[in-house]
Amino acid sequence: MRTIFSLLSIIFISCMSCAQQTESEVKAETPTAINYITEVVVPDLNIPWGMGYLPDGSMLITEKTGELIHFKNGVKTNIEGVPDIYVRGQGGLMDLKLHPNYKNNGWIYISYASPEGEGTGGNTAILRAKLDNNTLVEKELLYKAEPNTKGGRHWGSRIEFDNEGYLYFSIGDRANRDVNPQDITRDCGKIYRLSDDGSIPKDNPFINTANAKTAIYSYGHRNPQGMVKNPITGNIWVNEHGPQGGDEINIIQKGKNFGWPVISYGINYDGTTFTDITEKEGMEQPLFYWVPSIAPSGMTFISSNIYPNWKGSILVGSLKFEYIERLVLENNKVVKREKLFEGIGRVRNVLEAPDGYIYAAIEGKGIVKIIPEN
């Protein structure tokens, strides 16, 4: 009897600790023909993270290790005056975004792991500056998350502007899952909104909440590394890494709680669970979740006529499976997923440039351009 009881206990405990995950309903397929190929336009980069297109057609590229590169007429020039970068784990020099009115005001926005402030280690910072020849000038630190830690994970760091000119950026939970994301008096695990000069908009959701970090726009995020404005609705879309399973696409809404880690479709890396629930009142459901994880980084909407068959869908880079995923949407629901360019390498970023072409940043390779086959 006792043996049976022990056996039952063991079975019960095993079932509890190794959760069954529900796979994504729509599975990623390999298309038969895609009619597009990739061409390397900027070779020999290690971890290209952020990309920006200047009005003269040249390009600014960040390398995670801390170099800001100006690529013009086939020549790479390192920009001087980059702030002090804390290269640690997943952190370093990360995203780069030009002001929507760059042509007239010249502002460049960057996100990076910064050692600035009290305590050893670092946390995510947002800075704007202008380019004078090959040097960053008029540098203004707009935001620096606290506290500094020596942890290497979850810096977030994508930057985007909406149609009103507000500046959005993501900061990951810094791997402090149970402390940061659900607490709006703390940084990390949040999407932030600032005016383009770094001031806090008067209608930010927690502007009157005692002790809140008033730059917060939404919370309960894990590690968002893709962020893009929907060109039709103007909404801000993000994708974020889950742990093992449970990567998500979310449409950001003011003051909303996106649930991490109270609700999640993911489990711990060792197969154990940290939550039993995937939904809860007061917490937003993702537009889409990935099980298994693809490790999404970078995201873009296809609006260009260069890709008629793809128009209206979104592209997401996969670090883990080394392809670009195309997600077809109908009424804000993912109805089809395709794996493009399988084996291309770890895709860190993907965007549609002002010239209408799609470019992707591939680790260990460089920047590739997606062009029609003929």
Binding site for another protein (CB under 8 A): 46-47, 64-65, 86-89, 91-92, 151-153, 175, 269-271, 320-322, 345-346, 363-364
HEC secondary structure over 157-209: CCEEECCCCCEEEEECCCCCCCCCCCCCCCCCCEEEEECCCCCCCCCCCCCCC
- Considering the complex, state which of residue 38 and residue 90 has its C-beta at the smaller distance from another protein: 90
Look at the block and give the residue holding tokens 């994504």.
Answer: 24
- Considering the complex, state which of residue 320 and residue 369 has its C-beta at the smaller distance from another protein: 320
Q: How far apart are CA 78 and CA 56, in angstroms?
A: 18
Closest CB 26 distance from another protein, rounded Å: 22
Closest CB 143 distance from another protein, rounded Å: 22
Closest CB 82 distance from another protein, rounded Å: 16
Look at the block and give the residue holding tokens 């109908």.
Answer: 330
Decide if 70 is catalytic.
no
Q: How far apart are CA 16 and CA 91, in angstroms?
A: 34
Produce one character per residue of 6-34: b if its CB has 16 or more CB atoms within 10 Å, e if not: eeeeeeeeeeeeebebeebeeebeeeeeb
- Considering the complex, state which of residue 6 and residue 46 has its C-beta at the smaller distance from another protein: 46
Among candidate residues 70, 99, 154, 241, the one labeled active-site is: 154
- Considering the complex, state which of residue 39 and residue 342 has its C-beta at the smaller distance from another protein: 342
369 DSSP β-pair partners: 39, 359
- Considering the complex, state which of residue 354 and residue 364 has its C-beta at the smaller distance from another protein: 364
Closest CB 324 distance from another protein, rounded Å: 15
- Considering the complex, state which of residue 121 and residue 201 has its C-beta at the smaller distance from another protein: 121
Q: Which amino acid is at 176?
A: N
Closest CB 67 distance from another protein, rounded Å: 13
Closest CB 363 distance from another protein, rounded Å: 5
- Considering the complex, state which of residue 121 and residue 198 has its C-beta at the smaller distance from another protein: 121
Closest CB 229 distance from another protein, rounded Å: 28
Catalytic sites, residue numbers:
154
